[in-house]
């Protein structure tokens, strides 16, 4: 059975979804860069080993990433999953896990990389927003895309209401990706393209606002 290590920075809602999803893999550990966050207690309630590698106790990103990798590698995971992990990782860390480092991002990449994605989507007036699960590469939020989910942006949306709509889709697509990966249905090819051996493409378009 494949093993995964999950990295978090906060309450870990996406992590909790994965823990409750009855995946075809074993969550070997949950690691946070911040102490006393809610996600650690959730993981412990599932009897999963937890660790804190606090970024503030390291003088630079390189030393933090080196310690983080040391803890991760002690579990020999097949995949490392970023579930709300709010740190920019160094190139050397990312390259240490080629095709094994997975992230979920609250936008339809490559649009709205970085932070505050929902507020920026509303400000820009986009009508369709969403979320993306992708392989992590040194280029921030530009790794090969595994799956995306799209939602309409409503005329009266606030950052909070749009975030909640997107989060519901995050909780649907993230477990699916881990099922695919752990079953060998998705892989990252040597040319940087994602191969999905069980891909099903929807035959409809999401149009927002709707046509009359």
Q: What is the pLDDT of residues 107-150, one digit of tens each?
A: 999 999 999 999 999 999 999 999 999 999 999 999 999 999 99
Measured between alpha carbons, how far is residue 160 from residues 3, 37, 79, 148, 157 in Å? 34, 21, 31, 20, 8
In CATH, what is the architecture of 2-196?
Answer: 3-Layer(aba) Sandwich (3.40)
User: Can you give the pLDDT of all 212 residues of the chain as single tens digits?
Assistant: 999 999 999 999 999 999 999 899 999 999 999 999 999 999 999 999 999 999 999 999 999 999 999 999 999 999 999 999 999 999 999 999 999 999 999 999 999 999 999 999 999 999 999 999 999 999 999 999 999 999 999 999 999 999 999 999 999 999 999 999 999 999 999 999 999 987 777 777 888 888 88
Decide: 114 and 132 in contact? Cβ < 8 Å.
no
Q: What is the set of active-site residues?
A: 105
167: burial class by Cβ within 10 Å (0-12, 13-18, 19+)? middle
What residues does each domain of the chain span?
2-196
Instruction: Please state, as a whole number, how many other Cβ atoms lie within 10 Å of the Cβ of residue 27.
Output: 21
- Three-class SS state of 109: coil
Q: Give, in degrees to the nearest 5, the angle at Cα 70 between 67 and 71.
A: 95
| pTM for this prediction | 0.95
pLDDT computed for residue 202 by the predictor: 73
């Amino acid at each position: 059975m494949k093993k995964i290590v999950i990295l978090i920075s906060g309450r870990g809602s996406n992590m909790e979804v994965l823990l409750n999803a009855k995946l075809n893999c074993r969550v070997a550990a949950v690691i946070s860069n911040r102490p006393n966050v809610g996600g650690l207690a959730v993981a412990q309630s599932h009897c999963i080993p937890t660790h804190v590698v606090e970024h503030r106790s390291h003088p630079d990103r390189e030393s933090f990433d080196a310690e983080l990798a040391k803890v991760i590698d002690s579990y020999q995971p097949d995949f490392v999953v970023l579930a709300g992990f709010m740190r920019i990782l160094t190139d050397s860390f990312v390259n240490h896990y080629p095709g094994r480092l997975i992230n979920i991002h609250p936008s339809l990449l490559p649009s709205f990389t970085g932070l505050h994605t929902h507020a920026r989507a509303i400000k820009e007036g986009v009508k369709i927003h969403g979320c993306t699960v992708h392989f992590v590469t040194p280029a921030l939020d530009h790794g090969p895309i595994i799956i995306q989910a799209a939602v309409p942006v409503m005329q009266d949306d606030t950052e909070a209401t749009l975030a909640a709509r997107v989060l519901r889709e995050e909780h649907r697509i993230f477990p699916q990706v881990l099922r695919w990966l752990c079953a060998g249905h998705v892989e990252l090819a040597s040319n940087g393209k994602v191969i999905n051996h069980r891909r099903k493409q929807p035959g409809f378009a999401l149009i927002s606002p709707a046509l009359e």
